[in-house]
Amino acid sequence: MPLLTSALGTWNLPHFHRWQDRGKNLRLPRTPLVGRRSRIATIGSCFATELAASMQRWRLLAEMHPASRFYNTRSIRQEMQRIFGTWEGYQREPMWRDRDGFVHPFKSRQAFATETELRAWSDSIDAAAAQLFRTADIIVITLGLIEAWRNPTTGNTFIQMPPPDVFERLSPEFYRLTVADMADDLNAIHSAIRSATQAEIVVTVSPIPLHATMTAKDVRVANAESKARIRAAVSEFVDAHPEVHYFPSFEMVSTAEALSDFMLEDGRHLHRYAVDYIMHQFLTCFAAPDVTPGKVDTSWLREPTKLAARADHRPSWARRIMSRLWSPVKKLRAMAAMR
């Protein structure tokens, strides 16, 4: 049994991991879920799209939800309940008419000349999504943010902010999901999936920060609050459902020695090497015996600095003055050493 030693004494503990022992890769549990024939369905934020694309590069049978991106737990809850037959509010929501044509409030903003064409397209998307998730062996849910817009009349949550002209007519309600809201959503998502399938469920938090916040807060503060609330809700959800798996995408990026190692020039999105690295870690965690994670390039990722030299945080002018003051002393010491 591992021994934890400190100035207070020594303990025999089943598990512990010290900050000073962290490495380039996170310490991950090994649970063989993903085989070559495993059908994987992903739903969630833009990071869910990145994961699905990376899975396909690893030649896995993975596919993203065909409708669009679903950024928060409430919109994912609605969609899972629609797929598995328990979201009654779906049919009550009117279609949108904007300057480009008819647009669906719960799908990508593809405009159609008539509502009939829109509904025919929507029905085909719904059938494809139902087929994907009802037959999936593994469902990966990626959660991105807590800011949401909902219809004040129906209470339905939209997948994103309505277009400007629709926004003006509809006057949607802005809402930030609480930890309790998301815990309730996650339990409802779990129930919807379990009503029709025994697919393995993997939940992850997107490491991609907010593009913008609709609050008066600095976007960095709003992003920190968003990720903190999501992570708290997911932590309690996974504790309550031991058969649900958590994959730490968010932690891999947010606790990296240099966050910028993962990012494109925009400072938000991940470059392809970063996504493939995260996918490699996903397979290291979940690959079945018939899937070999292989090797992945990590030369771009810095190792943690365990014993960093003490940094000089003095202003440059102070360093220059101290250097001039110490210069004669250094010379005298050097002359004395040569005698």
What pLDDT score does 326 carry? 67
What pLDDT score does 207 carry? 96
Residue 62's beta-bridge partner residues? 40
Let me know if residue 183 belongs to a domain. Answer: yes
Domain count for the chain, please give it: 1
Let me know if residue 144 belongs to a domain. Answer: yes
Let me know if residue 191 belongs to a domain. Answer: yes
pLDDT (average), residues 159-168: 93
The CATH number assigned to the domain holding 278 equals 3.40.50.1110
Mean model confidence pLDDT for the chain: 91
Let me know if residue 211 belongs to a domain. Answer: yes
Chain centre to alpha carbon of residue 333: 57
Is 135 in a helix, a strand, or coil?
Answer: coil
Residue with tokens 């669009």: 68
What pLDDT score does 34 carry? 97
The better pLDDT of the pair 163, 1 is held by 163
Distant-in-sequence, close-in-space partners of 272: CB < 8 Å, separation ≥ 6? none
Task: Work out the number of other CB atoms within 10 angstroms of the CB of residue 239.
Answer: 10
Let me know if residue 140 belongs to a domain. Answer: yes
The better pLDDT of the pair 266, 315 is held by 266
**How does residue 16 score in pLDDT terms, banded at 50, 70 and 90?**
confident
Query: What would the pLDDT profile of 90-104 be if each residue is shown by its tens digit?
Result: 988 999 999 999 999
- The residue range of the domain holding 215 is 40-91+129-295
What pLDDT score does 335 carry? 62
Report yes or no: 98 and 112 within 8 Å, Cβ to Cβ: no
Let me know if residue 33 belongs to a domain. Answer: no
Let me know if residue 122 belongs to a domain. Answer: no
77 vs 87: CA distance, rounded Å: 9
User: What pTM, to 2 d.p., does this model score?
Assistant: 0.88
What pLDDT score does 237 carry? 98
In one-letter notation, the amino acid at residue 195 is S
